[in-house]
Structure 1
Amino acid sequence: MRRSLYDTEHEDFRAAFRAFVRAEITPHLAEWEAAGIVPRELFAAAGEAGFVGMAVPAEYGGGGVPDFRFSAVVAEEIGAGGISGAGLGLATHNDICLPYVLALATAEQRERWLPGLASGELVAAIAMTEPGTGSDLTGIRTSARREGGAYVVDGAKTFITNGINADLVITVVRTDRSSRHGGLSLLVLERGMPGFTRGRNLDKLGQHAQDTAELAFDGVRVPEVNLLGEEGGAFVQLVANLPQERLSIAVLAVAAARAALDQTLGYVKQRKAFGRPIGSFQNSRFVLAEIATEVAVAQSFVDDCVRAHVRGELSAEEAAQAKWWCTELQGRVVDRCLQLHGGYGYMLEYPIAKAYADARITRIYGGTTEIMKEVVGRGLGL
């Protein structure tokens, strides 16, 4: 079925980004996977090529096009190219961090941060999760108290994407202990601030090229001018931005599932057993027919969600539906595709093995499947 989500300019953008991936990422992927991090220069190269800050106004050096479909193209190509570890940092920078700055920054903050964020010379991260707090944002304990024109920040964060590379970390802090929801604020911590240290680059099951770090704050003095949005307004701000993050994950998940399907179709047509291609056996045909159908159905729903988001109509419940369904689909698809590869599927030299390891986290980050179902259930009035 022909997709109608994208226009010619989006497909031209896709072709350009696909060429960028082949030239700038794929040749170095094994090296970056081994190192556990991509070089900061990747963000600058992506910025120079126009793949960072697409929604940033042109006056600050961005693309000046607030059309999420360009971000969706990037997410699809990351999934299709099997580069989720290397590409996730770009998606986090574009789809998760930049919207907070674009929506909440003062004129002074926009002048100070947007040019670097648009060029890729500044790398962004967002720090929510803490060692003792995951999906429940009201449990955040990292504190920020006012003192002499600054906030003094104490606490710790973990599982932070871009945690090592980031220059600007949008940090969720508690500014009022007496209020669960209204006591949270967003502070932008900058590289080099005394007391702001980075711990381990965490060793993960998959997505090895993505730097995922622990962050520690010991009496970090953050100027009041680094408050993003209103003090006490972070919970509302986070809830408003989470649907785009979850939609981006869903888009990538469907693309990764489709890539696994395509790889497996090629494999079963070549690999033989009992004198004939294994794809010719009824079980193989039925499994792949089921996968192809499920991917097509998920693609249709996600495309509709993207359209709704572009119109400003995507609900939190719809984004949660897309996120949990598509990431669970991704997990099922890569598992069944690996099975059709037999023993070779377990070998890391085959892309399906890497896809299997990379896929596991998508059902966890951005909100676990269980939390997504809670969001959907509450939307039903339950």
Structure 2
Amino acid sequence: MRTHPFDLFAIDGLLTEEEREIQRTVRTMGERELRPQVAQWFEDGAIPARELARELGKLGVLGMHLEGYGCAGTSALSYGLACLELEAVDSGLRSLVSVQGSLAMYAIWKYGSEEHKQEWLPGMAAGEKIGCFGLTEPDAGSDPGAMRTTARRDGSDWILDGTKMWITNGSVADVAVVWARTDDGVRGFVVPTDTPGFSAPEIKRKLSLRASVTSELVLEDVRLPAEAMLPSARGLSGPLGCLNEARFGIVFGALGAARDCLETAISYVGDRTVFGRALASYQLTQQKLADMTLELGKGMLLALQLGRLKDAGRLTPEQISLGKLNNVREAIAIARECRTLLGANGITLEYPVIRHANNLESVLTYEGTSEVHTLVIGKALTGEGAFR
């Protein structure tokens, strides 16, 4: 008789019935509708993004932790559990949901005008409109303060010029939230993607997050009306506040990828015969499984604690960094270890392990590198900033 890794930690007992039901619903949809196709999407390097967005909108996971405007208004922890189940299928699918809900929708919901919210949020929650978030630039990743994209006044209008890089959903988006340097500091703008001067060429030849649309954003004399500016965001605190929302989802999401790898490995070693015995019966195999279960379970307990803190309004950016650093680092280690248990089969798309491992290479870097989160924690511990 096999025990699921999470059962050793009695994880279900830490969730409410509503949270368990949301998790079951997302997992069921993922297993039935997404998993059968995701390996092919990964191999092709292409996904039916608009169709997926509509299906995810019907499921209610787009901006699900936001209130009003067609959003589900669930708890943050429920949103985290949804991210876990989506990333158990593929990190690219969770990225679509994270960028839509925690970056583009959250920016409009938190910092936008009522007109912005009414115009965009209901359609985005339904998956009828897709959003992207333009912060990262070719020469400004971990240091967003070095951005070169500018917005200058021309009468009552704004003129935006610049380039953004590694933008999820960019080529399929209907709206982009773009951050630019102005005479009044960094400000955010709501940019319909059909605005003249805006283009979003897709980035190809990726070996990670292949089941995800990744793009460059190019803004050449993009003219916007004065009301395109997000009125309640001033300085880097605006985009960084959005990033904390997305990082919270990753704290849970990375565990979904790790769980899927571990479940796959446990099943595989039970069926695989080596030297006349099941691979599962060897001590070295069991040590690997036990060690990975410990890290997966500890990561889940950390995620649940952060979720409860967020729902109580007491979660700090430093705590989000703690969760992102630990859980992604352990998830990629689990994926790599599971690959060893599958041997050569571990490098094929017949199993999800190498796909998760490749995806987690991106998750390790985006929404703050491990180095950045290490320094955030270090500053919290010492009171000394070590970024420069």
Structure-2-length-normalised TM-score? 0.91
Match of 2:25 in 1: 16
Instruction: State the SS of the aligned residue for 1:228.
Output: coil
2:140 to 128, 133, 147: 133
How many Å separate the matches in 2 of 1:284 and 1:74?
31
Query: Superposition pairs for residues 296-307 of structure 1, below 5 Å?
Result: 296-307=297-308
User: How far apart are 1:363 and its partner, in Å?
Assistant: 1.0
Judge which range, 251-260 or 37-46, deviates more: 37-46
Match of 2:338 in 1: 337
Contact 2:55–2:127 (Cα < 8 Å) also in 1: yes
Alignment RMSD (CA, Å): 1.7
User: How far apart are 1:281 and its partner, in Å?
Assistant: 1.3
How many Å separate the matches in 2 of 1:135 and 1:360?
16
Instruction: State the SS of the aligned residue for 2:217.
Output: strand
TM-aligned CA distance change 1:219 to 1:335, over 3 Å: same
Contact 2:186–2:235 (Cα < 8 Å) also in 1: yes
User: How far apart are 1:230 and its partner, in Å?
Assistant: 4.1
Aligned residues: 373
How many Å separate the matches in 2 of 1:32 and 1:296?
30
User: How far apart are 1:66 and its partner, in Å?
Assistant: 4.7
Runs of 4+ in 1 over 6 A off after TM superposition: none
Query: Superposition pairs for residues 44-59 of structure 1, below 5 Å?
Result: 44-58=54-68
User: How far apart are 1:227 and its partner, in Å?
Assistant: 0.7
User: How far apart are 1:288 and its partner, in Å?
Assistant: 1.1
1:280-331: per-residue Cα shift (whole Å, max 9, x none)?
A: 1111111111111111111111110111111111111111111111111011
Instruction: State the SS of the aligned residue for 2:266.
Output: helix
Match of 1:179 in 2: none
1:197-236: per-residue Cα shift (whole Å, max 9, x none)?
A: 11233332222110010110000001111111346x1411
Gaps of 5+ in 1: 177-181
Judge which range, 255-264 or 17-26, deviates more: 17-26
Judge which range, 161-170 or 195-204, deviates more: 195-204
How many Å separate the matches in 2 of 1:188 and 1:243?
20
Are 2:268 and 1:267 aligned? yes
Match of 2:3 in 1: none
How many Å separate the matches in 2 of 1:205 and 1:361?
10
Structure-1-length-normalised TM-score? 0.93
TM-aligned CA distance change 1:71 to 1:234, over 3 Å: farther
1:91-124: per-residue Cα shift (whole Å, max 9, x none)?
A: 2212222221111121221211122122111111
User: How far apart are 1:75 and its partner, in Å?
Assistant: 0.7
Contact 2:189–2:230 (Cα < 8 Å) also in 1: yes
How many Å separate the matches in 1 of 2:325 and 2:345?
29
1:326-357: per-residue Cα shift (whole Å, max 9, x none)?
A: 11101111111101111211223222121221
Judge which range, 43-52 or 155-164, deviates more: 43-52
1:11-44: per-residue Cα shift (whole Å, max 9, x none)?
A: 2222222232234323332443314233312212
Contact 1:53–1:119 (Cα < 8 Å) also in 2: no
Letter in 2 for 1:238: P
How many Å separate the matches in 1 of 2:93 and 2:87?
11
How many Å separate the matches in 2 of 1:160 and 1:313?
30
Match of 2:315 in 1: 314
Match of 2:177 in 1: 170
Contact 2:339–2:354 (Cα < 8 Å) also in 1: yes
1:142-187: per-residue Cα shift (whole Å, max 9, x none)?
A: 00001122110011011001111111111110012xxxxx611101
Match of 2:4 in 1: none
How many Å separate the matches in 1 of 2:339 and 2:120?
44
2:228 to 222, 226, 229: 226
Judge which range, 132-141 or 12-21, deviates more: 12-21
Match of 2:78 in 1: 70
User: How far apart are 1:52 and its partner, in Å?
Assistant: 2.1
2:212 to 207, 210, 213: 210
User: How far apart are 1:190 and its partner, in Å?
Assistant: 0.8
Match of 2:196 in 1: 194
1:32 to 14, 36, 41: 41
Are 2:264 and 1:257 aligned? no
How many Å separate the matches in 2 of 1:86 and 1:66?
20
Contact 1:125–1:169 (Cα < 8 Å) also in 2: yes
How many Å separate the matches in 2 of 1:351 and 1:46?
21
Match of 1:2 in 2: 10
TM-aligned CA distance change 1:347 to 1:44, over 3 Å: closer
How many Å separate the matches in 2 of 1:128 and 1:309?
24
How many Å separate the matches in 1 of 2:339 and 2:225?
51
1:38-68: per-residue Cα shift (whole Å, max 9, x none)?
A: 331221222123222324444x3222x2521
How many Å separate the matches in 2 of 1:339 and 1:192?
47
How many Å separate the matches in 1 of 2:63 and 2:138?
31
Contact 1:47–1:120 (Cα < 8 Å) also in 2: yes
Match of 1:372 in 2: 373
Contact 1:32–1:86 (Cα < 8 Å) also in 2: no
Contact 1:202–1:211 (Cα < 8 Å) also in 2: no
Gaps of 5+ in 2: 1-8
